[in-house]
Structures are given as structure tokens and as C-alpha cells.
């Protein structure tokens, strides 16, 4: 199981702050089983893991930062639906949205959607070509799926259930299918039909999938910029429920 990630003192301080916000938001849900989930994540290196091996936030602490970004995007999208104005009529868009998208479900489904990535990244030395054409050694990651190789979204649901977390069906669907068709075996008609049915049944799934894409595709192209934004305490406080 890959947990031996080396981090600098500065990264360690960033990770400690992110861990604080992450744990506070999840504990505020008072969900049955959450304490054991947080203990398991800590033990297995969730907080020091990167969000990817070579794409978005591939630095120690990237996975917890990505999870917080998805939470933040989902909160903003819900707030827009709840309080935003219809551009044509001027009326409030969806004041009833709380019944479809309860706050605690957003916290659970966004912050925990990628727990499947815990303990899959192994630090390794990689060769990289500099702009001047010279090759150099840099610290990167290899992937190791030997611990709990259940897939991606389905692995997150399985691990959370194994750790005793009580989830609604909506939350499980949102976590299971958050990759939408990107994680779909196209030879399987049953998987396609299940994804379509999940989308019809779960507004939370669409919210998590959209927030995940916006976080990875817009907020996380630049690690330095993402970390700098965190240093503004005012913005960071909005992470919590
Ligand atoms: Fe994912
Ligand atoms: Fe994600």
C-alpha cells in the first residue's frame, strides 16, 4: 500500500490546514461512521496524496485540495440555483433546491468522491526535458493499484461502506458515477443503462460530476495558483459547511 510520500515542511503545513478544513466539514454532518472514515483516511495517506500522477494537482496534498475544490464548486452551483435570478423572468431560479440537494449530502459526496485514490500513488524519480533541451531528474509518481483494486467510483463507495459510513442511495450514486461516461466500459449495456438511470434519479450526481470537472479543468491547472488562493484566509473559511 502506497503511503510513503515525502513532503517538505511548507507542504506539511499546507496539508495540516487542508486536513483541518476537510475534517471539520465532514464532522459537521454528524454522519454515522464519519469518525472511522477520517481515521482510515489519515492512516492510509489520503492527506499527503496527490490528486493525479501527472495531471491536476500532482503534488503532496493535491487530493485533499481537489476534494475541497469540488465541495466549493458544488456549494457555489447550488447557491446559484437557489438564489440566482432567471435571466428571462427575473424570478428566483430554484428556491426549492434543498429537497434535491441537501447540504450534508453535498459535503459527503464531494469530499469523499475520490477516496479511491488513497494509497495508489508511489513517489518515483522521473526524467524530464527542460526548455533548454537538458534532461533532469524530478520527483513524480507511479501508480500502484494492489490495495483494494475495486475500480474508481465504485471503489470509493465500497471503501466508505467498509469503514462503516452511513450513506443515502443518492450519495452512493453520485460517488459511484461521478466520472460519468469517462469510466464506462462501452461493451456493457448494463453499465450504460445503470448510468442513465442514475442520472435520471440523482440531481446530486450531476452536481458532483459538474463540480469535479470544473475543479480539475478550471481551478487546478496551476498548483502554485491553487495554493496561493488558500493563503487568503477569507476564502479558505468558506470551505467549511
Ligand atoms: Fe474521480
Ligand atoms: Fe475528482
For every residue of 59-101, DSSP letters joined together read STTHHHHHHHHHHHHHHHHHHHHHHPBPTTT-SBS-TTGGGTS
Q: What share of the chain is helix, strand, coil (3-state, %, to 5)?
A: 55, 10, 35
Q: What are the grid coordinates assigned to 3, written together?
A: 503511503
| Cα distance between residue 24 and residue 236, in whole Å | 13
Query: What is the spatial distance between Cα 156 and Cα 100, in angstroms, rounded to a whole number?
Result: 22
pLDDT at residue number 183:
83
Q: For residue 67, how far is its CA from the centre of ligand 1 (angstroms)?
A: 10
Spatial CA neighbour of 227 closest among 78, 67, 61, 23: 61
d(CA 69, CA 146): 28
Of all ligands present, the nearest one to the C-alpha of 66 is: 2
Distance of alpha carbon 87 from alpha carbon 45, whole angstroms: 46
Residue scoring higher pLDDT (35 or 4): 35
**What is the spatial distance between Cα 177 and Cα 37, in angstroms, rounded to a whole number?**
20
Q: Is the pLDDT of residue 1 over 50?
A: no
Residue ranges with CB less than 5 Å from ion ligand 1: 114
CA of 178 from ligand 1 middle (Å) equals 6
Assign 229 to helix, strand or coil. helix
Give which of 37, 47, 49 is closest to 2, Cα–Cα.
Answer: 49
Q: Percent of the chain scored above 70 by pLDDT?
A: 93
How buried is residue 107: exposed, middle or buried, by Cβ count under 10 Å (0-12/13-18/19+)? buried
* Confidence at residue 241, expressed as pLDDT on a 0 to 100 scale: 45
C-alpha cell at 193: 443503462
Average pLDDT over residues 201-226: 91
Instruction: Give residue-wise pLDDT tens across range 83-133.
Output: 999 889 999 999 899 999 999 999 999 999 999 999 999 888 888 888 888
Distance (angstroms) between ligand 2 centre and the Cα of 100 equals 21
Per DSSP, 127 falls in state: E
Judge residue 70's burial from the number of C-beta atoms within 10 Å of its C-beta, 0-12 exposed, 13-18 middle, 19 or more buried. buried
Comparison of pLDDT for 140 and 41, the residue scoring more: 41
| One-character DSSP codes across 19-53 | HHHHHHHHHTTT-TTHHHHHHHHHHTTGGG--S-S
Q: Which positions ≥6 away from 165 have C-beta within 8 Å?
A: 31, 32, 33, 34, 36, 37, 108, 112
- On average, the pLDDT of the chain sits at 89
Between 17 and 174, name the one with better pLDDT.
174
**How far is ligand 1, taken at its centre, from the CA of residue 203, in Å?**
18
Which ligand has its closest atom nearest to the C-alpha of 117?
1
Tell me, in angstroms, the distance from the centre of ligand 2 to residue 208's CA: 9
Percentage of residues in the chain having pLDDT higher than 90 = 63
Q: How far is the CA of 167 from the centre of ligand 1 (A)?
A: 18
Q: Which ligand is nearest to the CA of 63?
A: 2
3-state secondary structure of 122: strand
CA angle 113, 125, 153 (to 5 degrees): 15
Amino acid at each position: 500500500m502506497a503511503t510513503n510520500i515525502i513532503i517538505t515542511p511548507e507542504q506539511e503545513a499546507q496539508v495540516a490546514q487542508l486536513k483541518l478544513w476537510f475534517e471539520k466539514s465532514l464532522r459537521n454532518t454528524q454522519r454515522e461512521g464519519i469518525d472511522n472514515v477520517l481515521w482510515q483516511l489519515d492512516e492510509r495517506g489520503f492527506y499527503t496524496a496527490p490528486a493525479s500522477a501527472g495531471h491536476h494537482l500532482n503534488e503532496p496534498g493535491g487530493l485533499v485540495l481537489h476534494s475541497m475544490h469540488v465541495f466549493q464548486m458544488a456549494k457555489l452551483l447550488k447557491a446559484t440555483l437557489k438564489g440566482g435570478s432567471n435571466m428571462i423572468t427575473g424570478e428566483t431560479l430554484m428556491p426549492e433546491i434543498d429537497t434535491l440537494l441537501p447540504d450534508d449530502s453535498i459535503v459527503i459526496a464531494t469530499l469523499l468522491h475520490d477516496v479511491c485514490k488513497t494509497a495508489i500513488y508511489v513517489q518515483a524519480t522521473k526524467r524530464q526535458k527542460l526548455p533548454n533541451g537538458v534532461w533532469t531528474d524530478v520527483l513524480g509518481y507511479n501508480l500502484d493499484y494492489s490495495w483494494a483494486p475495486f475500480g474508481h467510483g465504485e471503489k470509493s463507495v465500497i471503501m466508505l461502506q467498509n469503514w462503516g459510513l452511513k450513506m443515502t442511495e443518492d450519495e452512493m450514486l453520485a460517488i459511484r458515477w461521478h466520472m460519468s461516461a469517462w469510466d464506462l466500459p462501452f461493451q456493457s449495456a448494463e453499465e450504460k443503462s445503470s448510468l442513465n438511470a442514475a442520472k435520471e434519479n440523482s440531481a446530486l450526481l450531476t452536481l458532483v460530476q459538474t463540480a469535479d470537472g470544473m475543479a480539475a479543468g478550471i481551478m487546478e491547472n496551476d498548483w502554485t495558483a491553487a495554493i496561493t488562493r488558500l493563503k487568503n484566509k477569507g476564502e479558505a473559511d468558506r470551505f467549511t459547511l
